[in-house]
Structure 1
Amino acid sequence: MNKKVILLGFFLITSAVFFAQRERLENLPTFDKRRLHYGFYLGMNQNDFKLNLKNSAILNADISIEPTFGFNVGLIAELRLHKNLSLRLEPGLVSNSKNIYFNHLPLRRDSVREIGSTYLHFPVLFKFSTDRYRNVRPYLLAGVSYDYNFSSNEANQDDNSAGQFRMQTHNFMYEVGVGIDIYLSFFKFSPSIRGVFAINNEIKYDDNPNSQWTAPVNFMGTRGIFLNFAFE
């Protein structure tokens, strides 16, 4: 499934670039002279967790993560700072889910936690663009983002002993990516792919310091891939 989605995304991007290159006329010739412009994006993501374990009272701790695909949608505001540099805001919603397997626990009802998450995702990005060639313009993205986790359960008094896996509500990420602007007749289409990496530890530890679920965890932070399709 993962390979099919990636291949489909690659096919769509390649087809759009090929179409843009065949255009003899330069579309939207004054688009990049705007100081400020807006748009929106749709996309998909696959979010995993980077997981580091530590020595604890739990012997032979073994935890694994199974990610699934999610979706992302949001708005775009881009401020041109220089002909090749822009500041870009992309507030949006990100939804995904993951299964966490605690393989050292003998009872299946206690060994799996399904984490469904919906985030307010607010990236602040710098966009470094090449000079335009006909109707295409490749670019790099880099910046940081703030995520508000609506599904964190951080304030829940119950923890894993009652079946509740808790995470931090406020999280910070850094992002890097590549993309290409494709100038069409009436709008600019911009597919991009980027990596998203957590800065802070997102797990909220159980009240019991020797919890079988959280005591072995030294760090657990988001590590994801976003495939976005922007319309500007």
Structure 2
Amino acid sequence: MKKRLFFILAIAFLAQTANAQLFSKERLANLETFDNRFLTWGYFLGFNSYDFKIEYEEQAQDDNTDILVENQAGFNVGLIGDMRINRYINLRLEPGLYFAQRNLFFPNFEEERDFLRETKSTYIHVPLLVKFSTERLNNFKPFIVGGVSRSFNLSSNEENPQDNEEGQFRMTKGTSYFELGFGIDFYLYYFKFTPSIRGVFATSDELVRDENPNSPWTGNISSLKTRGVFINFTFQ
């Protein structure tokens, strides 16, 4: 429910802003030569909602082993480097710092110290994206964006010798993703403002398993992969 609300609010914001620009009486073109630059720079602020996609071992599918994931809104901040390929295509590098938290609730436990694992993550996230834009309309220009990325989880606990028996949930430090999203460039008087929404999907298993192969926390998990939604506001 929280993730649906996150999506709906983001899409409503983009639609409302685009509608205001499209039907505005103002027709003066701002920053007319901005898109002719070969290189441009900027920064972004935003929000994220991280989740996990969990797959289980076949022999455990009929058991009461499903893990509940509670995702919470996080915060993003970073820089942008944009290289113009042609009139419609740009190559973008967007390194950023992402703060996120997910709570995992494991079944068949009675005490909170056993059934709850808080996974607070601080990611250095580095995506390489290709941006495909439409023609500029008045002072805005819609686009779609896609690409690949790599993140480094500074809070992964990967090298921690303690595992879930001591209350430590561990994940790998490095993860690869593919990303897909859309947004709208708005050409204001002094700068270009861009709200966008993007989905991210991990391509590798991130779980560091407990020493005990029959661990009630990790023994029945075949893969655990991050997926998430980013809402960023870019200033260039």
Aligning the two structures, in what range does the TM-score lie when normalised by the shorter sequence? over 0.9
Counterpart in the other structure of 1:54: 57
CA distance in 1, matches of 2:18, 2:218: 47
Instruction: Give per-residue Cα distances to partners, 1:137-169, cap 9 Å, x unaligned.
Output: 110100011000000000100000111000000
Contact 1:178–1:193 (Cα < 8 Å) also in 2 = yes
Counterpart in the other structure of 2:161: 157
CA distance in 1, matches of 2:46, 2:224: 24
Counterpart in the other structure of 1:222: 226
Deviation at 1:57, TM superposition (A): 7.7
Counterpart in the other structure of 2:17: 16
1:194 corresponds, among 188, 192, 198, to 198
2:174 corresponds, among 164, 170, 176, to 170
Counterpart in the other structure of 1:121: 125
1:44 aligns with 2:50: no
Deviation at 1:8, TM superposition (A): 4.8
CA distance in 2, matches of 1:56, 1:152: 28
CA distance in 2, matches of 1:57, 1:94: 34
Alpha-carbon distance change, 9 to 201 in structure 1, aligned in 2, over 3 angstroms: same
Letter in 2 for 1:29: E
Q: What SS does the aligned partner of 1:68 have?
A: strand
User: How many positions carry a matched residue from both structures?
Assistant: 232
Contact 2:178–2:203 (Cα < 8 Å) also in 1 = yes
Equivalent positions of 1:62-101 (< 5 A) are: 62-101=66-105
Alpha-carbon distance change, 104 to 17 in structure 1, aligned in 2, over 3 angstroms: same
1:146 aligns with 2:150: yes
Contact 1:57–1:215 (Cα < 8 Å) also in 2 = no
Unpaired segments ≥5 residues, structure 2: none
Unpaired segments ≥5 residues, structure 1: none
Instruction: Give per-residue Cα distances to partners, 1:74-126, cap 9 Å, x unaligned.
Output: 00000001110010000000111011011122433211101100000000000
1:111 corresponds, among 100, 112, 115, to 115
Q: What SS does the aligned partner of 1:212 have?
A: coil
State the TM-score, normalized to the length of structure 1.
0.94
Deviation at 1:13, TM superposition (A): 3.1
Q: Identity, % of aligned pairs? A: 46
Counterpart in the other structure of 1:28: 31
CA distance in 2, matches of 1:7, 1:56: 38
Instruction: Give per-residue Cα distances to partners, 1:146-197, cap 9 Å, x unaligned.
Output: 0000000001000001110000001111100010111111111111111000
State the TM-score, normalized to the length of structure 2.
0.92
Letter in 1 for 2:18: V
Q: What SS does the aligned partner of 1:166 have?
A: coil
CA distance in 1, matches of 2:90, 2:133: 8
CA distance in 1, matches of 2:55, 2:9: 33
